[in-house]
């Protein structure tokens, strides 16, 4: 069996009603909270419950709502200044992946200084990699998709450079993640679908990664099983609390999987597409995944066949190679059923931009490309895959 190490240096508090304990969870970490919340939650009952739990414990707080999808480095740097000026000693994030990634960066940079962009991984560039934690951080995911509550990554967008890069550092894990499925029942079908397919893509890419270990395989396959059994139910019947809980668990498991094994080509393509067009992240990775599988086969056929069998048990009677070959069509049908049907073209990438786009992927997302089971030898091969996604 392949040797491996696994580490998850955070506390997961997974329970309906978990947010009611937020004040007690924060109390050991600090006395003044910098509360970062997705702007559409401003004035919501959820925020009222959280701030009420702070008040009960005598915990002061400063609210911050300047969070955007595909979080900008400039916005994060402004938030860092707010933290310092307000003398907050703990950060709490409530929201989706953008809010939590922003908070991970803010908590880290508030202690270590500089701009958050200095900490992002960029080929050939000097990177600041502190070897100690930032401010204490507690997070409350309000979507089931990114799994960022369980990763050492914070993805940051720099529109001026046209780049979307990540801080990758084991010291930016949250201290505590409160995962409360009750929060999820109000999420609209489209957002539910986009985040669900992101969960699936995390699990799939970690599973096929060259860095997949027995631990990652176990976690990723369970995430895929939970997605297969619950994603459609969550989209069509969002008030099904049990289905929501299972998708929330799938999301966290997907985060654990990529924390150990990384992501591959679909994310290498999806991240810069999101940076260029502000397209939703789940949609950008879904737009490429079936085509990436077609390009990859027959490499990885055993794993693709296993995933096909989970998503469509009727294929289990087929030979492995045939079952694997069915996976792209299975996924396209499933994504269509969920309402996730966009292409690179519909998201705004133009044919004349393909070569430059491929160059960005080749130079800035080489680490993700290197995780893929089929070696990509040139930016021309990247461009070929991009054309398939139109």
Q: Can you give the residue ranges of every domain in the chain? A: 11-183, 187-388
> What is each CA distance from 42 to 63, 95, 184, 199, in whole angstroms?
9, 11, 16, 26
What's the confidence (pLDDT) of residue 158?
Answer: 92
Q: So what's the architecture of 11-183 in CATH?
A: 3-Layer(aba) Sandwich (3.40)
Q: What percent of the chain has pLDDT over 70?
A: 100
pLDDT digits (tens, 9 = 90+) for 344-353: 999 999 999 9
pLDDT at 123 over 80: no
Looking at residues 258-283, what average pLDDT do you find? 94
Q: What percent of the chain has pLDDT over 90?
A: 88
What's the confidence (pLDDT) of residue 364?
Answer: 86
For the domain spanning 187-388, the CATH number is: 1.20.1090.10
Verdict on whether the full-model pTM lies above 0.85: yes
DSSP bridge partners of 157:
72, 164
What's the confidence (pLDDT) of residue 142?
Answer: 95
């Amino acid at each position: 069996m392949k040797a491996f190490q696994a580490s998850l240096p955070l506390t997961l508090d997974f329970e309906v009603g978990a947010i009611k304990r937020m004040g007690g969870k924060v109390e050991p970490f600090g006395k003044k909270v910098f509360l970062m919340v997705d702007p559409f939650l401003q004035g919501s009952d959820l925020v009222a419950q959280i701030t009420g739990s702070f008040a009960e414990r005598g915990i002061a707080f400063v609210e911050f709502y300047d969070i955007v999808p595909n979080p900008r480095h400039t916005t994060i740097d402004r938030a860092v200044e707010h933290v310092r000026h307000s003398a907050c000693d703990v950060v709490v994030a409530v929201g989706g992946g953008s809010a939590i990634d922003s908070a991970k960066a803010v908590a880290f940079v508030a202690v270590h200084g500089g701009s958050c962009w200095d900490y992002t991984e960029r080929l050939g560039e000097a990177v600041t990699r502190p070897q100690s934690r930032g401010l204490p951080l507690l997070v409350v995911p309000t979507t089931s998709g990114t799994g960022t509550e369980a990763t050492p990554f914070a993805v940051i967008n720099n529109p001026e450079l046209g780049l979307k890069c990540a801080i990758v550092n084991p010291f930016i894990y949250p201290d505590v993640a409160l995962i409360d499925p009750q929060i999820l029942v109000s999420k609209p079908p489209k957002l539910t679908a986009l985040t669900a397919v992101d969960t699936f893509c995390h699990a799939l890419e970690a599973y096929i990664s060259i860095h997949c270990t027995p631990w990652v395989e176990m976690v990723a396959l369970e995430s895929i099983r939970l997605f297969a059994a619950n994603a459609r139910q969550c989209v069509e019947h969002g008030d099904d609390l049990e289905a929501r809980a299972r998708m929330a668990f799938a999301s966290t498991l997907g985060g654990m999987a990529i924390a150990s094994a990384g992501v591959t080509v679909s994310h290498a393509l999806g991240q810069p597409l999101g940076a260029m067009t502000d397209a939703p992240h789940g949609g950008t990775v879904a737009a490429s995944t079936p085509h990436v599988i077609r390009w990859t086969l027959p490499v990885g056929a055993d794993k693709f066949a296993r995933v096909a069998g989970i998503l469509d048990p009727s294929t289990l009677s087929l030979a492995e190679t045939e079952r694997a070959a069915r996976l792209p069509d299975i996924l396209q049908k499933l994504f269509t059923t969920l309402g996730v049907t966009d292409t690179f073209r519909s998201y705004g990438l133009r044919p004349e931009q393909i070569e430059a786009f491929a160059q960005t992927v080749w130079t800035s997302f080489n680490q993700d490309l290197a995780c893929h089971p089929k070696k990509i030898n040139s930016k021309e091969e990247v461009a070929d895959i991009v054309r398939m996604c139109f």
